[in-house]
Amino acid sequence: MQRFTRAYEAGEVDELVALLTEDAWLTMPPVPLRYQGHELAAQFWTATAFRPGRSARLVPTRANGQPAFGLYIRDPHAPVAHANGILVLTLACRQISAVTGFPDNSALPIFGLPRMLPD
């Protein structure tokens, strides 16, 4: 999942989309919005996760046997990154068939993840 981490942290939407299956889902429970396929995934990531001035760090972990990441957003005014939830990947062979984002930071201690990282 090094390619996913590098692409996500660099905000490289095209590289992220290339890692997805054609029918991959992006979801963020409990928000009822769901995005399926390359085009909608690219639009979603461009408008939200990788909008100008926003950058992220990922810390690898596992959730339900799947690769997962603590998601941290860099603070533009301080040398820290603040927790922004957990991303869980569902794999289909060597591609990603789903990216599920859980924006609730209360689960971080379960994964041994802090609420803030030095940047």
DSSP string, 32-50: EEEEESHHHHHHHHHHTTT
The yes/no answer on whether domain 2-100 falls in CATH 3.40.50.10950 is no
**Average pLDDT value for residue range 16-22:** 98
On the question of pLDDT at 3 being above 90, the answer is: yes
- Percent over 70 (pLDDT), the chain: 100
Please answer whether residues 108 and 115 qualify as being in contact, where contact means their C-beta atoms are separated by less than 8 angstroms: yes
The CA-atom distances, in angstroms, between 34 and each of 24, 51, 76 are 10, 19, 29
pLDDT tens-digit series, residues 43-99: 999 998 998 888 999 999 999 999 999 999 999 999 999 999 999 999 999 999 999
Please answer whether residues 74 and 119 qualify as being in contact, where contact means their C-beta atoms are separated by less than 8 angstroms: yes
pTM: 0.93
- Percent over 90 (pLDDT), the chain: 87
For the chain, which residues make up each domain, given as ranges?
2-100
The pLDDT-based confidence of 117 (bands split at 50, 70, 90) is very high
Query: At 29, which amino acid appears?
Result: P
CA 99 to chain centroid, in Å, comes to: 7
Query: At 80, which amino acid appears?
Result: V
